[in-house]
Amino acid sequence: MSKARQLIAGAVVAAALAVAASASAGSSHTDAIDPGTPVNGMLVVQGIAKEADVELFTPFCDPIVVKPGAVTRTCDPVPPWAKRIFIGYGLWGVTKKIVDTAWNKRSWALWIDGRLVNLSRFGTTDRWIPSLPAADGRPALLREWAIVLVGAEGRHTIRYSPRRPRSVYSMTWKFTVSP
């Protein structure tokens, strides 16, 4: 092989490696979020409500969405001392069978600050609420995704999109953690 062809071949290989490295570096920002992934200055971890400093839904964000379609809500400010914020969302029922049936009829998606979350890696948590107003004051089982944000500051968005046959919900909540 002549010197000129060796130089051209070397340049092509170097260019291909640079493109591959650039592509892999760029994809890390767009990969789905797994437990332990940093996102915009906070860490997204697996966790349950009782391990968090606060829950995002009630008292800061209104979680009730009754009709399919898109809804966007702005939440009350989250206090700066809240270093661990539980963002799990889900559904409730007065029996485990009702919850299991309703849960199994849905597919779920979540985005945090525009990045898709790998929900199956976080899992779910079940907890009994002693007296749920929406259940006419009866005890209710609440199933939620087990997700906590650690060290969040500033403005953020979360969007849950549960889908079931013939109905799609898209709920976006915008919240701010005061510095």
pLDDT tens per residue, range 82-135: 999 999 999 999 999 999 999 999 999 999 999 999 999 999 999 999 998 888
Two tokens, residue 77:
């400010």
pLDDT of 22 higher than 50: no
Average pLDDT of every residue of the chain = 86
pLDDT tens per residue, range 120-168: 999 999 999 999 888 899 999 999 999 999 999 999 999 999 998 889 9
Q: Do the Cβ atoms of 178 and 78 come closer than 8 Å?
A: yes
Q: Residue 142: CB partners within 8 Å, gap ≥ 6?
A: 90, 91, 92, 126, 127, 128, 129, 132
pLDDT of 48 higher than 70: yes
Instruction: Write down the domain spans for the chain.
Output: 1-30, 33-177
Which of 24-28, 36-40, 55-59 is the most confident on average? 36-40
Q: Residue 168: CB partners within 8 Å, gap ≥ 6?
A: 68, 69, 161
